[in-house]
Amino acid sequence: MNIQKALTDLRKSDPRMGILIDEFGSPEFNPIDNYYESLVRSIVYQQLSGKAAATIYGRFKALFNSKSFPNPNEVMAIPHETLRSVGLSNQKATYILDLSDKWEKEEIDLSNVDEISDEEISVELIKVKGIGQWTADMFLMFTLVRPDVFPLGDLGIQKGFMGLNKMDRLPNPKEMETEAEQWRPYRTVAAWYLWKIVDGPFEW
């Protein structure tokens, strides 16, 4: 993604974005090559603060005597209760094992990821227990760095949108979708600035 072109386009399409760009600077998006690792991490991070999730994720990785991230077989070799012992909920441990099983069996096909649409990638990911549209959106944005993703279901995005528009209530998806049209084809970058409105640096 060409960040400078995205910033120029957003400034032209919405002057409010120009103010946010001046305030928060240019975002950095760094593609992640290990898709399996990224998805495990996203499951760990679901519905947790960044600090709590990072602690649990660190304990999870410490279960493996390796500097590199474990492969699916290595993860499946860890007993469910051991996964629970590092702070994972029962559901998240189940989700990680289901992801590992489907990944090992090649039931999730991301081999041609550069040739398929955001929607097709989401369909593949949602085959896994515990991966819904939010996780798929985060994968598209922060792992693949797809430029035009707008996670309508994210509470931070909803609050940022509310702040941007000085609303006294959370917006509904239709309102968000309609207004976000002006930010195409760089809604991923616009979303980053909405997060910044709410809580400063967005940790992912």
- Positions annotated as catalytic residues are 154
Instruction: Give per-residue pLDDT as tens, 67-78.
Output: 899 999 999 999
CATH number (domain holding residue 134): 1.10.340.30
Q: Tell me the residue range of the domain where 11 lies.
A: 3-30+149-199
Same domain flag for 138 and 83:
yes
Q: What is the pTM of this model?
A: 0.84
CATH number (domain holding residue 22): 1.10.1670.40
DSSP H or E stretch at residue 69 = none
pLDDT at 15 over 90: yes
For residue 111, being part of any structural domain is answered with yes
Same domain flag for 107 and 174:
no
Instruction: Give per-residue pLDDT as tens, 112-154.
Output: 898 999 999 999 999 898 899 988 999 999 999 999 999 998 8
**Domain count across the chain:** 2
Mean pLDDT computed over 169-178: 95
For residue 204, being part of any structural domain is answered with no
